[in-house]
Amino acid sequence: MQNLKELDTEYVRSHFSALNGKWAFLENAGGTLTANQVIQRVQNYMSHFHVQPNHFYKPSQDAGILMANGQAVAAEMIGAKQDEVMISPNTTASVFFLANSIRRLFSEGDEIIVTDLDHEANNGAWRKLAEFGLKIKEWKFCRDNGSLEIETLEPLLSSKTRMVCFTHCSNITGAINDISLLVDRIHDAGAMACVDGVAYAPHRPIDVKLWDVDFYFCSLYKIYGPHLGIFYAKKEHIENATGNNHYFLDDNLPLKLNPGGPNHELTSGIVGIGDYFSTLHDHHCVSEKNTLLDKVNELSALISNHEEKISQPLVDFLTKSQSIELFGPKSADSMLRAPIFSFDIKGHNSAEVVKALDLDEVGIGSGHFYAPRCLKSLGCKLNDGLIRVSLVHYNDSNDVIRLIEALEKLI
């Protein structure tokens, strides 16, 4: 028996109840469908263990174990230790929690670098620290390729730079930034690296230790899981941070940074993400891997190759049309981009395009996608925004064909 050479899309789609053949779901960067394994885990918790966890009676103890298992899977899937990962409502909340916890580590005149490419989640909270005397600098992305370049970072770095906040992958242009190169340079400058991995995580493995990031954020509801966020912080940063929680939890990592506890049933449901990827691994690969990250790593080539393959006809269509302007890399190459495609159609309001495709049961998105600074730098009108199509590995070639046919009717 050998590893499968291509992703078995029919098998993948069998794990998502919503993929019944009726709708083409193509706005996945805003939130993916939830794997059946996650739904089952949440239902099991709410049906049998929905009590206050960690008291000294068995159902309560069992509830605490299920939540701890969810915390463990969240850490394992990104290569972190369990006490380095916090579960939050979403990434915007995660960044605000972190900014409030570590702002006392900075002094007046210290500098934080943010970008005009990022989702506002990794922007607004840091910019607000100007109220406490910090200097905020903006790192502008390259409009031609939609990515951040180290050459434009260099002149912004100084002896006062304390942190650089940037996105691993743009939720608008789809461009993937070279995280290893950037983090190394940021550390050489004596600063911390704070990375938004939300748009990257549905498509590639995450290894926070390999990249040596100081902080890394993900949204689990964009990785086939429950509506939660997670963020990683190096343990020494958590220990040095001021607690957001009750004073008697200051030594309880990572609850220290969370103003309250995580959602019980959804935390237990995180285990379902591990179930899903383990099931995919066992179906496609014959080797035995110990950790969830190892399994996702082995699946990675199959997933990225599939996403690139189904994206190619869409890129060809978008780049050849005289009526369409595609932002970001003009390529389906999975080394350069995730399959997130934002574009304009001349003479068409973006929201009206989405409404028109609704009639064909093709779901896409429009707007600024919480990245208005990016759209402004691209020269786009915020009141109209852009059209966005975002694919993941459960999409297939038929989804893309339906999309292209629906767009052709408009232009």
Distance CA 349, CA 245 (A): 45
The per-residue pLDDT of the chain, averaged, comes to 96
pLDDT tens-digit series, residues 2-58: 688 999 999 999 999 999 879 999 999 999 999 999 999 999 999 999 999 999 999
Q: Which domains does the chain have, with CATH numbers?
A: 9-33+292-410 (3.90.1150.10), 40-273 (3.40.640.10)
pLDDT of residue 236 exceeding 90, the answer is yes
Per-residue pLDDT band at 65 (split at 50, 70, 90) = very high
The per-residue pLDDT for range 158-173, each reduced to its tens digit, is 999 999 999 999 999 9
Task: Give the pLDDT band (50/70/90) at residue 254.
Answer: confident
Q: Residue 1 — very low, low, confident or very high, per pLDDT cuts 50/70/90?
A: low
Residue-level pLDDT at 409? 94
Residue 184 banded pLDDT, cuts 50, 70, 90: very high
DSSP H or E segment with residue 167: strand 161-167
Q: In which region does residue 342 sit, left (phi positive, over 0), alpha (psi from -120 to 50) or beta (all else)?
A: beta
Per DSSP, what are the bridge partners of residue 231?
Answer: 86, 217
User: Model confidence over 321-372: pLDDT tens digits?
Assistant: 999 999 999 999 999 999 999 999 999 999 999 999 999 999 999 999 999 9
Task: Indicate whether 174 pLDDT > 80.
Answer: yes
Between the CA atoms of 253, 255, 258 and 264, what dihedral angle is there, to the nearest 10 degrees?
A: 140
**Residues 6 or more apart in contact with residue 172 via CB below 8 angstroms:** 117, 146, 327, 328, 340, 342, 369, 371, 374, 375, 378, 386, 388
Residues 6+ apart with CB under 8 A from 128: 99
Q: Are strands 386-390 and 365-367 parallel, antiparallel or unpaired?
A: antiparallel
Q: For residue 250, is pLDDT > 60?
A: yes
Whether 185 and 139 have beta carbons less than 8 Å apart is answered as: no
